[in-house]
A and B are shown apart, each in its own frame.
Chain A
Amino acid sequence: MLAVTALSVVFLRDLFAIVMLFGIYSLLSAGFFVTMDAVDVALTEAAVGAGVTTVLMLSTLALTRRKEKARLSPPSLLPLAVATITGLVLVYGTLDMPHLGDPDAPVHQHVAPRYIEQSGEEIGVPNIVTSVLASYRGFDTLGEVVVIFAAGLGVLALLGVAGGDRHRARVSAMEHHLVLRVITKALAPLILLYALYIQFHGDYGPGGGFQAGVVFAAAIILFAIVFGLTKAEQVITPTFLRYMMGAGALIYGATGVVTLVLGGNFLDYNTLAHDPLHGQHYGILAVEFGVGVTVTAVMISIFFNFFGRSSKPQEEEQ
């Protein structure tokens, strides 16, 4: 199924259909991840891949055009050759690989067993993925937050409009649609609540800062779509978003600095409380919160910037 989806992208020229197919591809991958026992990854792929990416692509289509130009000449052979050779090298590489699901494979020896066997005693959090993500390999996750921050920065730099910029769009709200307005008012708080649940339940089940941030942002974006960008920006101003984007990363980093001051290595949560398990809990809580804050801010900021931009320069507003 995945293959069919991917191949159709090659041959279609309607970009809208292609983006939809990509959303399907992403959702199918998320389903696949569930069957591979990767539940956190599935949640993230569904929220981020199928959700965020698809919506961003649609926004881009709205600002550009919907159809790919027709090609008169036949496709050149070089890309096909490159792709085929690369694929063959990979296939060559698989010949010595352990089979799918083999419990004796090297990846399951050495490093992974300690996470599985000892994270309960060392960190005390049931979700092993959260333990590894937020504690054992917490520095990677700090890098990840900074990557998201960079994306927010980039979109701000490229599409951010201030008053008087010629590309500010006049986005009309859907005020006429009574049903949409009522449902949004009912749903938005529930979505926010669900996001908070994902944020704090990440220790016990799939979830955590990233997924929570995306869902939280989704509620705000829904509000913006239905009630208009201007109203939404009054609730959450671009200036506030700018501070919020950085704040999350700083919270994460500050946790690390605190651990330094308390005498440990950077991000060594054992120093944060009288006993290591509590320290780990506080540390993970703090950094996941930081992640959630930055992800929320960046996602909202990116959407506001895309929605707020018009592809044709407008007349100056008074």
Chain B
Amino acid sequence: MSTTLGLYNYWIVIFLMMVGLYIVIAHPNLIKKIVGLNIFQTSVFILYISMGKVKGGAAPILDDAVTVYSNPLPHVLILTAIVVGVSTTALALALIVRINEAYGSVEEDEIHDQDAPL
């Protein structure tokens, strides 16, 4: 029982990740795909950060009053990952704008149909 309670946080995060992943793969609308990708990535960040928490710990800023700190290393990694994520999103959205100009659509199947006869 204690196993389940200790782990259920992770399971919820996994559920969120899978919702994000599902949106990316299943929906043909390009913008929705990017939203799904972001949900997927943000959920991975949540997983990493919850790894770093120490019960009864404080934020990792040195202070004489604090004895136990939460782990700073996952924070650093996720800061980098967030930046990487937004960079990818910016690039993807710029591509979508250009694709829309070129094809007149942001739906994957419509775009595919326009290319097929070529």
Contacts and interface: CB of A to CB of B under 8 A. Distances in A.
A80 B22 contact: yes
Contacts of B38: 22, 26, 49, 53
Given A6-B19, A69-B29, A36 B86 contact: no
B73 A107 contact: yes
Interface of chain A, main secondary structure? helix
Contacts of B52: 36-38, 107
Counting contact residues on chain B (CB < 8 A from A), the size range is 35 or more
A127 B26 contact: no
Contact of A151 (B36, B45, B91, B97): B91
A68 B23 CA distance: 13
A12 B56 CA distance: 40
A83 B25 contact: yes
B83 A103 contact: no
Interface in B24-80: 25-29, 31-32, 34-36, 38-39, 42-43, 45-46, 49-63, 68-76, 78-80
A140 B78 CA distance: 12
9 contacts: A25-B42, A36-B49, A37-B58, A56-B90, A87-B15, A119-B62, A129-B60, A167-B101, A311-B100
Interface of A: 2-3, 6-7, 9-10, 15, 18-19, 22, 25-26, 29, 32-33, 36-41, 44-45, 48-49, 52-53, 56-57, 59-61, 63-65, 68-69, 75-76, 78-80, 82-84, 86-87, 90-91, 94-95, 97, 99-103, 105, 107-108, 111-112, 115-116, 119-120, 126-129, 131-133, 137, 140-141, 143-144, 147-148, 150-151, 154-155, 158-159, 167, 204-206, 210, 302, 305-306, 309, 311
Interface of B: 2-3, 6-7, 9-12, 14-23, 25-29, 31-32, 34-36, 38-39, 42-43, 45-46, 49-63, 68-76, 78-80, 82-91, 93-98, 100-101, 106-107, 110
